Chain A
Amino acid sequence: MSQNKYWQGFAEVTNPEGAQKKSADEFQEELPFEGFDSGKLVDAKSPRRDFLKYLGFSTAAAALAAGCKIPERKVIPFGNKPENLIPGEAKYYATTYIQDGDVIPVVAKVRDGRPIKIEGNTLSVYTKGGTSARAQASVLDLYDTNRITHPKQKKGDAYSEIPSYDEADKLVAAAMAGISGPVVLLTSTINSPSSLQAISEFLAKNPGARHIVSDAVSYSGILLANEASGFGRKLPTYNFGAAKVIVSLDADFLGSWMNPVENGVGYGKGRKIDERNPTMSKHYQFEGHLSTTGASADERFPHRPSETGAVALAILAGLDGSVAAPAITDAKLKAGIDKTVASLKANTGASLVVSGSNDVNVQLVVNAINNAVGSNGTTINWASTSNYRAGIDKDLTDLVAQMEAGQVGALLVYGANPAYTYYDAAKFTAAVKKVKLTVAFSALMDETTSLCNFILPTPHYLESWGDAEPKSGYVSFLQPTIYPLFKTRPFQTSLLKWSGNNTDYDTYFKAYWVGRLGTEEAYEKALQDGVLETTSIAGGIVSAISGGTYSGGSLATAAAAIGAYKKGGEYEVVLYQKVSVGTGTGATNPWLQELPDPITKATWDNYALISMSMAKSLLGIDLGNKEREKENNDYEYYPSKPVIKITVGGKWVELPILVIPGMNANTIAVAVGYGRAESLGKTAGGVGVNAYPFTQFNGTSFLYSADAKVEDAKRSLKIAQTQIHNSYEGRVEVVRETTLATFKMNPNEIVDWRQDLNDKYTNGTNDFRKEATLYGVHDAPGLKWGMAIDMNACYGCGACVVACHTENNVPVVGKSEVLRYHDMHWLRIDRYFVSDENNPDDLKGVVFQPMMCQHCDNAPCENVCPVAATNHSAEGINQMAYNRCIGTRYCANNCPFKVRRFNWSDYTGADSFKNNQDQQIVGKLDPVVHQMNDELTRMVLNPDVTVRSRGVMEKCTFCIQRTQAGKLQAKKENRPLVDGDIKTACQQACAGDAIVFGNINDKSSQISQVRDTNRQRSFYALEQLHVLPNVTYMSKIRNTDEIIVKSEHGEGDHKEAGSIPAKQEGHGAPAKAEEAHH
């Protein structure tokens, strides 16, 4: 029996009235006029002077504008226009996003020669057109102003340009001739078959040469464990869709582990609900901190990072007793393990256990568990192995030792960055200096690159030819979408030249694939499709699923080793990756830096996540205590957060804290990927702190958790969080969530609530729509756009948020502006914690709700605009005319969903008055804003969408440029619009297929079907306000047996719009239902 509370910040649980008061004022700042502070114009310090100033300025501006000659604009056609190229129309090229071994087949939208948007490639069977936030943002990396523009050679401490690659080849050849030790090629995971062949040719030509793979965050624990279990040094393909029970031991498989897009697509299959027969997979998560994946879990059991092995052992012991169960003291954790074991036993052959640990012993136990529950050959496929990661940690540590001993002649680095990611970066840096010849193939001046003698810049993937084989048999191709912007050369070309092969990689790549596929036509078809997923070629897909052959020989040793692990100390620190910057490669991307983290909603930083109890004991922040209202509100509402000093084995960092519910009490979690070098530019440089030094090496593999000492640093730092920027003022009917058991027991709860609203409101006419407004109903004679969002399929990954940024030219505002509530995201993902009302730390679940303009048919924003800049279209869209907006912000004030965004400054450089970006009255903007306005970076802008200037309101348009283009295409082809012609950017980006968009006037469209078949879960946010949104949400369902008690509805709750008491869910009739026991 429980009464659930949905909350975004602690104060909403402990002190709802105070929280509401704090967030009542949407625009907490006054307009930036001097002298008006007193509120009365007449009493202002210098109204006359101000008046004259503004008068003078306007007159001068008008005179200037009138006197200026309209600049002469040129229209420059091609000299010789290529066939099939239509200026003004986009072309799409299939290519592949590759980063650190992650592979996502994508399609690049190229507008007049510029790639401007990345979409998923729907032809790929394993990503099904899904993308990640990083893939979406990758197009911006192409236009990074910090890219290395030409080959360089180190002379003294500075670099000088090498005029040509021929010159560079000669210099390197001369240097190669003078070395004594072997050549070592150090790369991140490379899963390109043609590149691997080029590398092997290079190694063959250079006797003694070696290729060493090192991943920023290592998977060698799994690789070695799989080898010891008899599967070979491989990663299998995990089929999350086939699993009825998914157990994750600290694996963030929806956020950062393996290929989250592939995992998410599979996971989504088991999580979508058919109302007529509601079943879904059951997801248990054991972890130290609250991860993105943990947020979607049905049941979460926090534990110390040092206990991962013990948890795994306990599960295995419970399953088949082949090992002795370790002592687990935490009663809740123990109960969780028992429950998990019972679930696994009941679902043998339909279960999957994954672990994110890099400890070989833990992974050996996990292999034993999977063997015991029959995963191999059902949910784990050994016939198609994954090539996402291949690095073995010992290889790298050995290499560093050899470099230190002067045994390495030349080091060629591509993709790897040990000077930043290595646990002992200082040692690596010193070792590099002992290598005579060092060459970096890199697009950016990263930490390792800036140590090397030669830098040969590499092209961005959108400028490259190439291929990738992320899973054996599944090949994905790259083709250039733009002529290289800078003097770059693929690293493969360099290797080919240096091994005496005088062909470019471009030619080599083509020859390789024409050879493998037989004909040029087949090669061209493969390039056009972008993916080659066929059983018909040698090395193609093996269609049968294989369980491999498991051997449990190493289990006993592993179990013994785990048993002997020492207990964790008072505090333990665990490193994790954010969905945005990942291992650090995303840190240079402004879109990713500004993407709020799914859990913390923080941008532009890393920080220490700590539990409520640690906050209390360490810092005296007692967020659960209702007596300490003021202190708690201060913590919650001001961006300054106390800083703690975390020390691990002599290395320390100081980081601000964020208190997160559902954390293990003793665990501190810190994201890696921050604290990058200044040479990478102002986006990455100086943001956050590098946490890689906390990595431990146990002689076999790197471990990403450690015992730590923690102390209060007695200072504070600001964190730019967006979670409290948009408040619903105590209205709770925005988000709905329930458990599977409750839903089965009372499937019509939402339907009843809506019917009840309708009955009470319409006074018997039963016409909710007409009754809702004085203004008359908006007709939609042809099309009417609507959207449905399945919250069960949303994992909060943020791909949609970045896609929206890219598609709609949404500006980046920088940390200082986010701190001032000036973030511009049109689409935000609200994160709600679900807990018992009295116990916020006992986290039951997390709900992610993508929130954008709801395009209300009875929109409160439209009525208050004094200049009718926002109004309703005949297609049901709440439209916003930027050039008409005068910036009163009444609309944003009146929007119950808080989805309107105001351009407080000239973020995009769109203003006619150049100095608007630096005016003192708007405050200095962060360097990143200026970087985004660079001529080069602006090439990423979508030419079909206006770049908004200062003083203008903006918001989601339902991607109107796409609906308009789709309609025009249909008209050009003289046919009716087909459902699916038009997809919004967020919908297209989503790997979970959570968003459906279409014409609701068409009863056969997907959107109509989805709404029709999901009546029991569908609701409108804040439906009782009668604003008639056009976005439906489908409530989140957690697969647990808990019965959530609701109040009896209809006790006068819904008589008047907007006057619903804040705690609508919490009061009313006493609880009737008992918790079901199974």
Chain B
Amino acid sequence: MAKKIFLLTFCLAIFSIQNLSAQDGKAIFVSKCASCHNPFKDGTGPALKGLEERHKWADHKELLKWIQNPGAYMATDAYTQGLKAKFGSMMNGFPDFTIADVEAVVKYINDIQPPPPPGDKAAGGSSSSNQNATIFGIISLILAIIALILMGINSNLKKLSDDAEGIERPEPVPFFRNKVYIAMIAIVFFAISGYFFAQGAIGLNRQKGYEPVQPIFYSHKVHAGINQINCLYCHGNAWESKAAAVPSVNVCMNCHKNISEYAKGPKLYREDGTEVNGTAEINKLYQYAGFDPKKPNDWDPSKAKPIEWVKIHNMPDHVFFSHAQHVNAGNVQCQTCHGNITEMDEVHQASELSMGWCINCHRNTKVNFNADSTGGNKFYSIYEKFHNDIKSGKMDSVTVKDIGGLECQKCHY
């Protein structure tokens, strides 16, 4: 159940097309329908919740006909012609849809519950370790002060007893001229400053939290969060290539040919608190695309000018990082590294992207090992030793580390 909510709230990016089982309604919905349809509100296409109550869609065979070949279906059907008039474009056909797929998707739509209104979730929990550190710090400080006081009392008592016993001692050195104190303070100072220096040096060129101002205020929260557009709809390159790639203008225009104003969503704010006019931002896109909303049919995509986005996630040149390896082969969720992207308006760098951060994940992450014939990636069939170990119970899973994921030339070459 928890997973379901997760899926509802966040855009689920990663679904291997090969791994789709026919009955997996949500997967089919996300991969094929979600780019235009939302269950609860109209998008490029109509909201799908309660679709069985509309038109003839209670008959799934009719629905299948429509999905497989909308053009042919519409020719004799006034209702769908009306839809086209309302939404301005005809639905894409999915000739490979089966009746089982339709059943699964409809079931998914029927089962699905509206997402809770945003802002419900508490952010808390993460600051507890910080609080502990403060408490420990205060305790240490108090203890140190007590120790100093005790030491002072001790020397005073000693002096008193010496006086009482008549032993002559030299005048005590005040603590600020006491070499032991000075040495101790110096050592502590060097240790602390060394620590901060080292931390600073390690942190050079790291930019966690980096959130540059982009040429267009593009909200991932609106697109991937509220409208639940699949990450791979825009960043499809991540499936195939090392680069996830920012979508080209013609991809934006797939939807924005029809969506020319920002009206229904929540108010948008910049980092500094100023409000953003969503419609104005869409108009900026039209500027780049050379698109006139009044004459949509005159648009020539080849005239579109590229948008110069500011790159947020920068890997050093000596690192080879492949999105395809992680997203496609490794089934890693986009959010694992990019954070709660569906909650971000303008994107910031959520992870450290440091080597230690990479390595830790490689240590713990299990590979999609084909331990038995039913699942996993067949690439790993050559790892005979691990297969035997799993069979004999010596291993229960294979981590990235086991197949060499911590080695230098996995990433540096």
Contact = CB atoms under 8 A, between A and B. Distances in A.
Interface of A: 62, 65-66, 70, 72-81, 86-89, 779, 781-783, 869, 871, 873-875, 877, 879-884, 910, 944-947, 957, 960-961, 964, 967-968, 970-972, 974-977, 999, 1001-1002
A86 B306 CA distance: 16
A72 B310 CA distance: 7
Closest 5 CB pairs of A and B: A88-B241, A79-B304, A971-B329, A88-B243, A881-B408
B46 interface: no
A910 B316 CA distance: 12
Interface in B315-329: 316-318, 320, 322, 324-325, 328-329
19 contacts: A73-B310, A76-B306, A76-B307, A77-B246, A77-B249, A80-B301, A87-B241, A87-B243, A88-B243, A871-B407, A875-B404, A879-B413, A881-B408, A881-B409, A945-B413, A961-B413, A971-B377, A972-B329, A974-B379
Contact of B381 (A62, A884, A976): A976
Interface string B18-41: 100000000000000000000000
B275 to A, nearest CB: 25
Contact of B325 (A76, A80, A884, A968): A968
B352 to A, nearest CB: 14
Interface of B: 18, 200-201, 204-205, 207, 212, 237, 240-243, 245-251, 288-289, 301-311, 314, 316-318, 320, 322, 324-325, 328-329, 377-386, 402-404, 407-410, 412-413
B413 A972 contact: no
A92 to B, nearest CB: 15
Nearest to A870: B408
A975 B237 contact: no
Given A76-B306, A76-B309, A88-B243, A81 B212 contact: no
B378 A976 contact: yes
Contacts of B380: 782
Contacts of B248: 77-81
Contacts, number: 164
A79 B408 contact: no
A75 B246 contact: yes
A81 B407 CA distance: 36
B310 A74 contact: yes
Contacts of A89: 240-242
B250, B318, B403 interface centre (most CB from chain A within 10 Å): B318
B407 A879 contact: yes
A77 B320 contact: no
B207 to A, nearest CB: 6
Contacts of B311: 72-75
A957 B378 contact: no
Contacts of A967: 379
Contacts of B403: 781-782, 874
B413 A970 contact: no
Contacts of A910: 317
Nearest to B239: A972
A960 B413 CA distance: 7
Nearest to A1002: B382
Given A79-B302, A87-B241, A779-B385, 14 more contacts: A66-B201, A66-B204, A74-B311, A79-B249, A87-B237, A87-B243, A874-B403, A879-B407, A879-B409, A944-B242, A960-B413, A971-B377, A976-B379, A977-B382
A76 B308 contact: yes
A1002 B382 CA distance: 8
Nearest to B212: A72
Contacts of B18: 974
Contact of A70 (B207, B251, B324): B207
A243 to B, nearest CB: 43
B251 A81 contact: yes
B385 A781 contact: yes
B207 A968 contact: no
Given A77-B307, A80-B304, A946 B383 contact: no
Contact of B404 (A62, A72, A874, A999): A874
A967 B314 CA distance: 25
A862 B407 CA distance: 14
A259 B412 CA distance: 39
Contact of B201 (A62, A77, A86, A946): A62
Nearest to A999: B382
B320 A871 contact: no
Nearest to B325: A968
Contact of A77 (B306, B314, B317, B408): B306
Contacts of B407: 871, 873-874, 879
Contact of A883 (B200, B201, B306, B412): B412
A960 B411 CA distance: 10
Contacts of B384: 781
Contacts of A964: 320, 410, 413
B409 A877 contact: yes
A86 B241 contact: yes
Nearest to A779: B385
A811 to B, nearest CB: 15
A74 B308 contact: yes
Contacts of B306: 76-79
A974 B378 contact: yes
Contacts of A1002: 382
A59 B385 CA distance: 51
A975 B317 contact: no
Nearest to A1001: B382
Given A80-B250, A87-B237, A957-B413, A879 B382 contact: no
A1000 to B, nearest CB: 12
A535 B399 CA distance: 55
A541 B133 CA distance: 83
A873 B409 CA distance: 8
A146 to B, nearest CB: 28
B337 to A, nearest CB: 17
A88 B288 CA distance: 24
A75 B403 CA distance: 33
A857 to B, nearest CB: 15
A81 B382 contact: no
B324 A972 contact: yes
A881 B412 contact: yes
Contacts of A75: 246, 309-311
B249 A946 contact: no
B85 to A, nearest CB: 28
A877 B407 CA distance: 10
B365 to A, nearest CB: 14
Contacts of B205: 70
A79 B250 contact: yes
Contacts of A871: 407-408
Nearest to A112: B243
B242 A88 contact: yes
Contacts of B379: 967, 970-971, 974-977
A87 B309 contact: no
B202 to A, nearest CB: 12
A783 B382 contact: yes
Nearest to B200: A66
A440 to B, nearest CB: 36
A947 to B, nearest CB: 7
A553 to B, nearest CB: 65
A417 B207 CA distance: 57
A73 B314 contact: yes
A86 B240 contact: yes
A1002 B309 CA distance: 47
A975 B317 CA distance: 31
Contacts of B381: 976
Contact of A974 (B250, B377, B410): B377
A73 B322 CA distance: 19
Contacts of A78: 248-250, 306
A557 B157 CA distance: 130
Contacts of A73: 310-311, 314
Contacts of B288: 79
A1001 B383 CA distance: 10
Contacts of B328: 971-972
